[in-house]
Amino acid sequence: MPISHPPTPGSALWVTAHPRAESLNGRLFREGVEALSTRYEVATSDLYAQEFNPVLADGDLGELAGVPGNLAQQAGESYAVGQLPAEVQAEQAKLAAAELLILQFPLWWYGPPSILKGWFDRVLTDRFAYGDLDPELGVPRRYGDGGLVGRRALVVVTAGEDEGSIGPRGISGDLESLLFPITHGVLWYTGIETLDLHVVYDADALDTGRLDQEVKRLRARLDALDAETPRRFRTLRDGDYRGTRALRADILPGRTDLGIHVAD
């Protein structure tokens, strides 16, 4: 089982992944943290500024380095005995305290920068963020369960394309589907509920006036965030995936889109 990490009320973590401080993302980060700090104690993880190492490797495994075995399980064992690298332990401590998580990044090749993917790889370890079987139900402690239950997350993403290109019928694919691996496969997997995406479209073409508008829009969103209702995906515990972990045939029959995993 994962260790439960009750969040600290009024605590937030803002994780940002952009290499340039003097950029659209840099300004959104600074303005967003300032706005959120009026109501939360905000910790930050500026991954590029910290020179966070995104590569999960033997150095994460303590005494198990070089020992054959399942890498994810070994990382969990290293977590349990306090042998993860100091920079990983520091990120886990910030995340364990936060009741609100902000993930901010530019959309690169239809996903986040690799440094953020590496943050997921190294920080969200077995036994910290998810765990083994629930003894009563016999299902793994993930997808709505896990070590990070009781948290909400807002994903802030800047995209060079317009709203139509990454909309429901866009040539680049629907952004909600493109980011499903994060909202469902990372956040919900570990028990974190997600709010609606906050997207800045045409980010490469913003003039000063539109940039100011986007800053105001983000600040207004953050000011009203506590009143928002998170979206809830179906849980592994509720029986909708009984048997095969595929959605039961009697639920939304005939549909295969990713929207079938959103709870009613």
Higher pLDDT, 28 or 243: 28
Q: Find where tokens 């963020």 sit.
A: 129
Nearest to 148 by CA among 100, 111, 180: 100
Q: Count CA within 13 A, CB hemisphere, residue 235.
A: 15
Distance CA 173, CA 200 (A): 16
Instruction: Output DSSP code: residue 59.
Output: G
Q: What is the pLDDT of residue 122?
A: 97
203-238 pLDDT, tens digit per residue, is 888 888 998 999 999 999 999 999 999 988 999 888
- For 124-250, strand residue ranges (E) read 131-133, 140-141, 152-158, 193-194, 198-200
Domain extents for the chain?
11-230
Q: What is the pLDDT of residue 149?
A: 93
Residue 105, H or E segment: strand 100-106
Q: What is the pLDDT of residue 2?
A: 47
Residue 139 has pLDDT above 70, yes or no: no
144-202 pLDDT, tens digit per residue, is 888 899 999 999 999 988 888 888 888 888 999 999 999 999 999 999 999 999 999 98
76-113 pLDDT, tens digit per residue, is 999 999 999 999 999 999 999 999 999 999 999 999 99
Percent of the chain whose predicted confidence (pLDDT) is above 90: 73
pLDDT band at 136 (very low <50, low <70, confident <90, very high): low
Q: Average pLDDT of 32-61?
A: 96
Q: Count CA within 13 A, CB hemisphere, residue 65.
A: 11
Fold of the domain spanning 11-230: Rossmann fold (3.40.50)
pTM of the shown model: 0.93
49-64 pLDDT, tens digit per residue, is 999 999 999 999 989 8
